[in-house]
Amino acid sequence: MVRRGIGLKLPVVLLCLMVAVSLVAFGCGESGEKEVYNIGAVLSLSGPAAPLGQPEQRSLMLLEEQINADGGIDGHQVSFIIEDDESEPAKANTAVTKLINQDEVAAIIGGSTTGSTLAMAEVTEKSKIPQVCCAGGTKVTQPVKEYVYRTPPSDAMAIEKLLGYVENELKIKKIAVLHDANAYGTGGADELQSKCGDYGIEIIARESYGSTDTSMVGQLTKIQGTDAEAVVVWGTNPGPASIAKNMKELNMAIPMMASHGIANKKFIELAGEAANGVTFPGGRLLIPESIPEGSEWRKAVDDFSKLYKNEYDLDIDTFAAHGWDAGLIITDAMKEAGTDSEKLNQAIEKTKGLVGIDGIYTYSSTDHDGLSVDDMIIIIVENGEWTFHGAEAEPVN
């Protein structure tokens, strides 16, 4: 990058380099010569979204440890200040205000859910502090907010992936949609409805269910009475597992597809045998073999997976990946921009080809999603295991 207005002289550069190298070599942190880079994070560590926030927190702690062990960013130690929103958007809003005003953080990570993220965005947009979230809701980046970015594949991306599969692989035209009546399910169903025309697919039945409903037999018998060739279920556990069981009970022959909301082993555990044959779009990291061997991305996933296993004795999941990537994107931009929020925001927006765990991030002024559809694959449950059918396009760098 060119620094405008400063005539760079070779001796100065050399001097700077020497200072930097010596600082790194002799441990700059001990006497606090360089200020610590504070990054705030608001995650759902308790409440219903805790299964999302906790792995995100674990990843951030790992990343902090790793960056600081390697000498920090230009000698600045990094500190993630993590707050819990208890899965409530209102509390996320309060927490982010505290982080910005009291802790004077340079950037914000979070929230874990779309609701919290949007509540936080009200504050970060006003304070002009960059925010990198771990939530998939379409509204987060459509329309693009100047200071808000995301790490996970967006819901819109998952829908494109799924509809592409329906059109090109299953080659069917008529689908039924059965969605959770909550915000996630309704948002997904709306998106499906608006996009399906582009793929020549028609939604001939759209039904909903409540998150804690005991039986979805009523809705399914109705779908049975139509000529739908597949059922697309949009929701998170345990709804889709109940539906898989009900479909088996009703002897329904048409395939069940679902959202990336079931991209966890819990779904297979709950649905048991009924899980077999269910397909859904998911990140490649769920099946590392789907990432070309020898690529930087594959190496990043393998390393992260090992690191995470060593520290916590747990397998990585998508949420761990979102947390890690959010931290990575901000700290990577800090290498160049330091802690000036405005510069940092510009640096994040210029991120190009950054290899994370979820995929390879390239942001632009019109795209704050970062990933692309090819960072996802269609996953099929076979014999209680995730598999992928191999005919996927190579991910693009």
Partner 1 sequence: MRKVVFRGMKADEKRNRVLWCSIAVVALVIALALSLKGSKGLQWVISGLTVGSIYALVAMGFSIIYASTRVINFAQGEFSMLGGMLMYTFSSQVGLPAWLSFILAVTVVTALGAGFERAVIHRMEGASVVALIIVTIGFSIFIRAVAKWIWGTDPVKIAAFLGEEPLRFLGASIVPQSFWVFGFTAVAVILVFLFFNRTLPGKGMRAAAGNPDAASLVGVSTSTSSLLAWTMAAALGAAAGIIIAPINFAAYSFGVMLGLKGFAAAILGGLGSAPGAVVGGLILGVLEIMTAGAFPSGYKDAVAFLIIILVLLVRPQGLLGKPEGEKV
CB of 361 to partner 1, least distance (A): 30
Interface with partner 1, residue 218, by CB under 8 A = yes
Q: Which is nearer to partner 1, 224 or 372 (CB)?
A: 224
Query: Which position among 145, 173, 174, 266 is part of the footprint of partner 1 (CB under 8 A)?
Result: 266
Q: What one-character DSSP code corresponds to residue 102?
A: T
Instruction: Give me 93's structure tokens.
Output: 């809003």
Among candidate residues 170, 123, 116, the one with its CA nearest the CA of residue 139: 116
Q: Is there binding between residue 81 and partner 1 (CB under 8 A)?
A: no
Output the smallest distance, CB 246 to partner 1, in A. Answer: 8
Q: Mask: binding to partner 1, 164-183, rule CB under 8 A, as x and -?
A: -----------------x--
* CA-angle at 202, arms to 392 and 216, nearest 5°: 90
Stretch that binds partner 1, among 74-82, 126-134, 240-248, 332-340 (CB under 8 A): 240-248
Binding flag, residue 214, partner 1 (CB under 8 A): yes
Which residue of 27, 48, 197, 292 would you call a contact of partner 1, by CB under 8 A?
Answer: 48
DSSP code at position 279: E
Cα separation of 289 and 293, whole Å? 7
- Check residue 346 and give left, alpha or beta (phi > 0: left; psi -120 to 50: alpha): alpha
Cβ 46 to partner 1, closest distance in Å?
Answer: 9
What residue type is assigned to position 156 of the chain? A
Q: 367: exposed, middle or buried (C-beta count within 10 Å: 0-12, 13-18, 19+)?
A: middle
Helix (H) / strand (E) containing 346 = helix 341-349
* 269 lies in the binding site for partner 1 (CB under 8 A): yes
Of 54 and 151, nearer to partner 1 (C-beta) is 54
**217 in contact with partner 1 (CB under 8 A):** yes
Residue in 238, 277, 288, 338 binding partner 1, rule: CB under 8 A: 238
Q: Name the segment binding partner 1 (CB under 8 A); options: 101-109, 146-154, 248-256, 314-322.
A: 248-256
40 φ, ψ to 5°? -90, 150
Q: Which of 94, 2, 76 is nearest to 40 (CA)?
A: 94
380 in Cβ contact with 279 (< 8 Å):
yes
Backbone φ, ψ for residue 70 (5° rounding): -85, 10
Segment interacting with partner 1 (CB under 8 A) among 19-27, 202-210, 348-356, 383-391:
202-210
Should residue 384 be labelled a site residue for partner 1 when binding is judged by CB under 8 A? no
Contacts 24+ apart (CB under 8 A), 182-187: 182/211, 182/235, 183/114, 183/115, 183/137, 184/114, 184/137, 184/155, 184/234, 184/235, 184/236, 184/261, 185/234, 185/235, 185/239, 187/114, 187/137, 187/138, 187/139, 187/155
Of the candidate residues 98, 139, 174, 248, the single one contacting partner 1 (CB under 8 A): 248
Quick check: 270 binds partner 1 (CB under 8 A)?
Answer: yes
Using CB under 8 A, pick the residue from 38, 124, 151, 208 that binds partner 1: 208
Six-digit token pair at 176? 């039924």
209 binds partner 1 (CB under 8 A): yes
Name the DSSP class of 76.
B
Interaction residues for partner 1, span 303-332 (CB under 8 A): none
Binding to partner 1 by CB under 8 A, coded x per residue (else -) over 85-124, reads ----------------------------------------
List binders of partner 1 among 354-383 (CB under 8 A).
none
Binding site for partner 1 (CB under 8 A): 48, 50-51, 181, 207-210, 212, 214-219, 221-222, 224-225, 237-238, 241-242, 245, 248-251, 266, 269-270, 272-273
